[in-house]
Amino acid sequence: MNYSGCVMDGLLHNNAKRPLISFEFFPPKTAKGEERFWEALEGLAPYRPDFISVTYGAGGGDRENTGRLVCQVQEKLGLPAMAHLTCIGEDQAVLERMLDHYRDNGITHILALRGDRSDRMAPDALEKGAFQSARQLTAFIRRRHPDFRIGVAAYPEVHPEAASPEADLAYFQDKIRVGADFAITQFFYENAALYRFTAANRSAGVTVPIIPGIMPITDFKQIKRFADLCGAVLPDWLVTRLAEAREDVEAMQRIGIQVAVEQCRDLLRQGVPGLHFFTLNRSDVTSAILDGLGLKPG
């Protein structure tokens, strides 16, 4: 399969003979964490990712770190970098400053997000921000910086705050219509959910690339917490499989890698344009999955 036609419109892509591959990192909060951040990046760099993305904390909690690290990744490692940008509780002037900062430092891709509420926010933080939704933020970025490539989030299993699956689908399509070039999904483990979501959007005339987000499982309690927060489903077959290794860290990691390889193989057979890995700032598990898929370094 030639992948370039699937993803070049609105996405960085450097190899037409393989799917787009991207890695997501979060800004570390300590010097030791930053050391691990760079170690993980250097461990995954040989896989020649099409881009590295760096997250942005709710309410701008990691704003400065994200702004610095995104630019350093691109400059030091020569890897294209995409900045996450959230609008919850943010002033327009702050968002304008961040966008100008990225433009001036050669960053061309932005992931536009509302952002999650956090305990440190005031109850009315969302209402006090310049924009109350990712749709509004996307439209603003498109007007202010028409040359940026803008990504948005997608929820194959429905956003936990959505009024209904139909409302969630319509909202996603609105984000595309106001200027988004591509989408990256929340993690999921039932591929049928992505296929239904993609088919519904194609039927509605949405043609942008929809890149599945892949969350490797290394800790059952951790993945259960993540799933509860974002509304992802942990299917019975997966819970049963993971139960075999509840107290065995190495066995849990082995099963998590196997599950991810199986999931990604099926996704690639069905023609997804790429795979976006949530690395949790470590390289070993993601590299093992890529090796298992035959997507080795070089």
Query: Which residues are known catalytic residues?
Result: 24
3-state secondary structure of 195: helix
CA distances from 249 to 85, 223, 245, 252 (A): 34, 14, 7, 5
State the burial class of residue 104 (Cβ atoms within 10 Å of its Cβ: 0-12, 13-18, 19+).
Answer: exposed
Give the C-alpha separation, 239 to 93, whole Å: 45
Structure tokens at 60: 């701008």
Give the C-alpha separation, 168 to 161, whole Å: 9
Of the candidates 115, 90, 85, the one whose C-alpha atom is nearest the C-alpha of residue 101 is 85
DSSP category for residue 160 = T
Give the C-alpha separation, 60 to 130, whole Å: 13
State the chain's maximal CA–CA distance in angstroms: 52
β-partners of residue 151 are 111, 182
Q: How many Cα neighbours within 13 Å face the side chain of 217?
A: 30
